Structure 1
Amino acid sequence: MKYALRLLTSLVSIASIPAAAAPHSGMNPMVEQVAALSGAMPTGVTVAPNGRIFLNYPQWGDHPRFAVGELKDGHVVPYPDEILNIPDTLTPDGHFLSVQSVVADGANRLWVLDTGAPGFSSPVAGGTKLVAIDMGTNKVVQTIVLGPDVVLPTTYLNDVRFDLRQGKSGVAYITDSSIKGPGGLIVVDLASGHSLRRLSGHSSTMPDRGFVPRIDGQPLMLRPRGAAPGLWRVASDGIALSPDGATLYYCALSSRHFYAVPTALLRDPHATDEMIAAEVRDLGPKAPSDGLAEDDRGAIYAGDYEHGSIRKFVDGRWTTIAHDPRILWPDTLSIGPDGYLYFTANQLYRQPVFHEGKDLRRQPYTLLRIKIDAGPVVLH
């Protein structure tokens, strides 16, 4: 059965508008608007080594016209074509069903992380996958379908990082940000497609107990129309990789902590979860965030969705590097070759599910950036 679509246009206007003066001292560098995004709400963004910018739109109820798009000539257009972007569950491995993340690697490929779970439903068999698109030819060159050994009925794939130096063709590290079951990390061998599920349900991949964020002075909770409020519990979400590829950083969205674990253990098929858990380091506390990013100097970046800020982690300490009233839920972060940190601000917390059925989002959404004078981690 085909998942119905409404044709919504994602018009984009390009601008470089410096932010107004930050309301508190020390809130620099200046925030610049890259694009105003109308239509469906975006989540992911990636800036390729050649500067091309890609965004994605999950099936969360806005019925986006396409799942993956490229920012091109003032508009976001379907990428790599319209056919692949039609979510057809009859051929789930050949179409995007609900894309949560896009990441460009150092081999001129755009990787698309498809949750296979429109509307946070149970994943469609054969639809949970990694898809590689050659950015030179704009053609799909590899599709890795993730099986039930790593994809649970409650799994919701969120973000991904790559190290192309490992094994024959590299490995991918993926977060499972389940809202109904255990969080976890998934390690994928890109040559064979063989996958391992790691730290499933471990405290580091699960939401903090009793966690309730506050935005604009109000607690953020699930508030469906006509029902009592409930906790919003989202598991492992943000992910980042150290410049040498030896350490993976990750955090649950519903948490004030983030963690580090050796990647060698994650990849080792003989390592048990108990062995891996013994090497997990709690690097918290931190402000709750959605996405993470890493630069080639070893710094980690995170959004602070409670306070509309971007924060930087160096030498065990978080500092706020940008604060702006336009940073309305910083979602995915990506560092470009131009020394800027790019991120989507998509007003996620204004969705109807948090406001008794009222949609408080105000378009356009925005793609923003700040100058960090560092480059991305590209392991190839």
Structure 2
Amino acid sequence: MLKSLLAASALSFLSLSAVAGEPLQLEEVAKFSETRPGNITVTPNGRMIVSMQPLDGPALRVVEVLKDGSKAPFPTQDWADGPEVGELGLSAVIGVDTDSNGVVWMLDMGSDTSAPRLLGWNSETNTLHADLQIDKSALRANSFPQDFAIDEKRGQIYIADMTLGNLAGPSKPAIVIVDLKTGEARRLLEAAEQFISPGRDVVIDGGLMAAKRENGSLNNLRFGLNPIAISDDSKWVYFGTVNGEQIFRIPAAKLADPSVNSADLNTFIEEYGPKKPSDGMTFNPNGGLFVSDIENSAIGLTTAGEYEVLIQDERLSWPDGFDVAQDGYVYVTQNQLHKHPAFNQGVNGAKAPYYVMRFPVPGK
């Protein structure tokens, strides 16, 4: 994200206490006692915006965490409380991010009665910036578009459509590109080899990540393309699968070029570095990618060909969404998602509260 470049001036004093060999301090900054947080973004003017995990059926789809810890509907009550109430409404939101101009982008996955959309809200003026419905031609019946990266240089958003893995329907993940000026959406690289989950089980605290079928048997879950991020210079788009242990990258200029088809795009994908099974990542302004490790309650740093654990803490029970803020901290949501019945063999093993946490950006 370009906005993390603006955080550079805030990093210098923090780097002195967050250098190699010194443990990073993990700090709790917000608590959720009912529904889980999904992803997080912190605007240039310091507003903390959090999506609420749709699996919990939240009354408010997106909230702002105020300075006193209380939650307010975002961007407005009518948008936040869903289409079933009032005149407007977001249906199901996980992906949220902010551009350098303070526009908060929210990716609404839609519902049976509401089309998926990208909603842009200017957090400086508190006004609607854009409402872009995503054309159904760019989606599939089992689409699950949740994470995205903003390319401000080219005016594009790159959405990771995981589809529903082996949970429902065919697994055909793809990147959906939305032009922020025209609203045009294109689906690319569908079912590319690098987007497909490997045949690897995810085991957390001794428990297998699996759904329980109607006949009582278990479906070991395989989730493909999900975490996605863009470098601060908008040169590379990075991505990986949930179950997989590799981060790949592709030139953003190639993704954004409508003259380059999927077959040709495939030749530009390259391996970047290792990771653990993960649900989120973001670019590190000092190089590499912060990436979650859902099996080990940890956060790692992937650089070219290398991986290291930055923080391992039992409080990081399924670290999910990240954001690098201008205050020099990395914010991360924790939501025990693996303990939801959909992922925990039909059993609800989660125990609130859930948290937003933060740690200082490590020095070079």
Short-chain TM bin: 0.7 to 0.9
Q: Would you say the 8 A contact 2:99–2:150 is kept in 1?
A: yes
Q: Would you say the 8 A contact 2:83–2:91 is kept in 1?
A: yes
Answer yes or no: is 1:297 the counterpart of 2:286. Answer: yes
Q: TM-score if structure 2 supplies the norm length?
A: 0.88
| Structure 1 match to 2:144 | 156
- For residues 96 and 269 of structure 1, do their structure 2 counterparts lie closer, same or farther at Cα, with a shift above 3 Å needed? same
The residue type paired with residue 76 of structure 1 is K
- For residues 217 and 357 of structure 1, do their structure 2 counterparts lie closer, same or farther at Cα, with a shift above 3 Å needed? closer
Equivalent in 118, 123, 141 of residue 135 of structure 1: 123
| Structure 1 match to 2:334 | 345
- For residues 260 and 136 of structure 1, do their structure 2 counterparts lie closer, same or farther at Cα, with a shift above 3 Å needed? same
Give runs of aligned pairs for residues 89-168 of structure 1, distance below 5 A.
Answer: 94-117=88-111, 124=112, 127-166=115-154
Q: Percent identity?
A: 26
Q: Say which structure, 1 or 2, has more relative contact order (CA 8 Å, 6+ apart).
A: 2
Answer yes or no: is 1:52 the counterpart of 2:47. Answer: yes
Give runs of aligned pairs for residues 217-296 of structure 1, distance below 5 A.
Answer: 217-224=206-213, 227-296=216-285
The residue type paired with residue 172 of structure 2 is P
Q: Would you say the 8 A contact 1:312–1:321 is kept in 2?
A: yes
Q: How far did residue 63 of structure 1 move?
A: 2.3
2:213 and 2:360 map into 1 onto residues whose CA distance is: 39
Q: Which moved more, 1:350-359 or 1:316-325?
A: 350-359
- For residues 199 and 212 of structure 1, do their structure 2 counterparts lie closer, same or farther at Cα, with a shift above 3 Å needed? same
1:149 and 1:285 map into 2 onto residues whose CA distance is: 34
Q: Would you say the 8 A contact 1:239–1:250 is kept in 2?
A: yes
| Structure 2 match to 1:21 | none
Q: How far did residue 158 of structure 1 move?
A: 1.2
| Structure 1 match to 2:182 | 192
2:243 and 2:327 map into 1 onto residues whose CA distance is: 32
| Structure 2 match to 1:6 | none
- For residues 230 and 245 of structure 1, do their structure 2 counterparts lie closer, same or farther at Cα, with a shift above 3 Å needed? same
- For residues 137 and 200 of structure 1, do their structure 2 counterparts lie closer, same or farther at Cα, with a shift above 3 Å needed? same
Q: Would you say the 8 A contact 1:224–1:355 is kept in 2?
A: no
Q: How far did residue 219 of structure 1 move?
A: 2.5
The residue type paired with residue 357 of structure 1 is G
| Structure 2 match to 1:66 | 60
Q: How far did residue 128 of structure 1 move?
A: 0.5
- For residues 224 and 40 of structure 1, do their structure 2 counterparts lie closer, same or farther at Cα, with a shift above 3 Å needed? farther
Give the unaligned 5+ runs of structure 2: 1-19
Aligned to 1:70, the other structure's residue is in SS state strand
Equivalent in 156, 159, 172 of residue 171 of structure 1: 156
Aligned to 1:261, the other structure's residue is in SS state strand
The residue type paired with residue 131 of structure 1 is L
Structure with the largest fraction of helix: 2
| Structure 1 match to 2:357 | 368
- For residues 226 and 126 of structure 1, do their structure 2 counterparts lie closer, same or farther at Cα, with a shift above 3 Å needed? closer
Q: How far did residue 84 of structure 1 move?
A: 1.2
Q: TM-score if structure 1 supplies the norm length?
A: 0.84
1:339 and 1:111 map into 2 onto residues whose CA distance is: 21
2:22 and 2:134 map into 1 onto residues whose CA distance is: 42
1:71 and 1:274 map into 2 onto residues whose CA distance is: 43
Q: Which runs of 4+ in 1 moved over 4 A?
A: 89-92
Deviations 1:205-238 (A, max 9, x none): 1211x22011113322223575111121222111
Q: How far did residue 27 of structure 1 move?
A: 8.0
Q: Would you say the 8 A contact 1:159–1:175 is kept in 2?
A: yes
Aligned to 1:266, the other structure's residue is in SS state helix
- For residues 274 and 69 of structure 1, do their structure 2 counterparts lie closer, same or farther at Cα, with a shift above 3 Å needed? same
Q: Would you say the 8 A contact 1:305–1:328 is kept in 2?
A: yes
2:47 and 2:363 map into 1 onto residues whose CA distance is: 18
1:45 and 1:127 map into 2 onto residues whose CA distance is: 23
1:36 and 1:89 map into 2 onto residues whose CA distance is: 27
Q: How many residues align?
A: 339
- For residues 27 and 37 of structure 1, do their structure 2 counterparts lie closer, same or farther at Cα, with a shift above 3 Å needed? farther
1:83 and 1:365 map into 2 onto residues whose CA distance is: 25
Equivalent in 34, 37, 50 of residue 39 of structure 1: 34
Q: Would you say the 8 A contact 1:70–1:79 is kept in 2?
A: yes
Give the unaligned 5+ runs of structure 1: 1-24, 118-123, 376-380
Deviations 1:114-153 (A, max 9, x none): 0114xxxxxx465201000111232222101011221111
* RMSD between superposed Cα atoms in Å: 2.1
